[in-house]
Chain A
């Protein structure tokens, strides 16, 4: 199964863009990249996902490189409430199974 690699921690000033990188060099053609975040004491919360194309929603943008070996989650205007652990995940889909493989995540600290 494809694994992901993320930096353990990052800082970002409030109001600036937070760019969180993820390496998934062994990803297969049918595996999706998902991003979740976990605020202390809560279950992980879905942010965005993509297969090959860049994606944007009301929370974030996801940029996937053309070779699909890495991606970047962009929070365009970080706020203090975005302080959390961010997980980049590969979703493995076979003919009868469908599972999320988590890594260790990036702890994002947004400071005033």
Chain B
């Protein structure tokens, strides 16, 4: 079974703190993604990575950065947390299309519900 594991299910942080959200996958996937989910807005892509040390901005990268030093781990960093970053954060990973791999769909973690106070 594919496992995408997010380090925390619930997190409470103070405004201005630096926050790290960690995600680990065990399927040797090239792609990893960070989304945030807010009521009425669906899932919005923050950043994604298609290889170690490679990253691209998604639709809402402002206030976030990412790190991918190893293939299995993708970290989302909130440099200075603000209350408008209170949200559910979802990590996903997938194999790249057209590489001959059977399962190319993205697999999601259970999510981290972050509250910034």
Contacts and interface: CB of A to CB of B under 8 A. Distances in A.
B73 interface: no
Nearest to A91: B97
Contacts of A98: 30-31, 50, 94, 96-97
B42 A105 contact: yes
Contacts of B30: 98
Interface residues of A, number: 22
Interface stretch (A15-23, A39-47, A67-75): A39-47
A77 to B, nearest CB: 23
Nearest to A4: B42
Interface size class of B (residues with CB under 8 A): 20 to 34
B41 A44 contact: no
A44 B33 contact: no
Contact of B58 (A34, A99, A103): A99
A102 B90 CA distance: 12
A102 B35 contact: yes
A100 B44 contact: no
A34 B92 CA distance: 15
Contacts of A104: 40-42
Contacts of A44: 43, 90, 92, 108
B111 A43 contact: yes
Given A43-B92, A100-B94, A102-B43, 9 more contacts: A32-B97, A43-B4, A46-B106, A49-B105, A99-B48, A100-B92, A102-B44, A102-B45, A104-B42
11 contacts: A32-B97, A41-B111, A44-B108, A46-B106, A49-B105, A87-B43, A97-B50, A97-B56, A100-B106, A102-B43, A102-B45
Interface of A: 32, 34, 41-46, 49, 87, 91, 93, 96-105
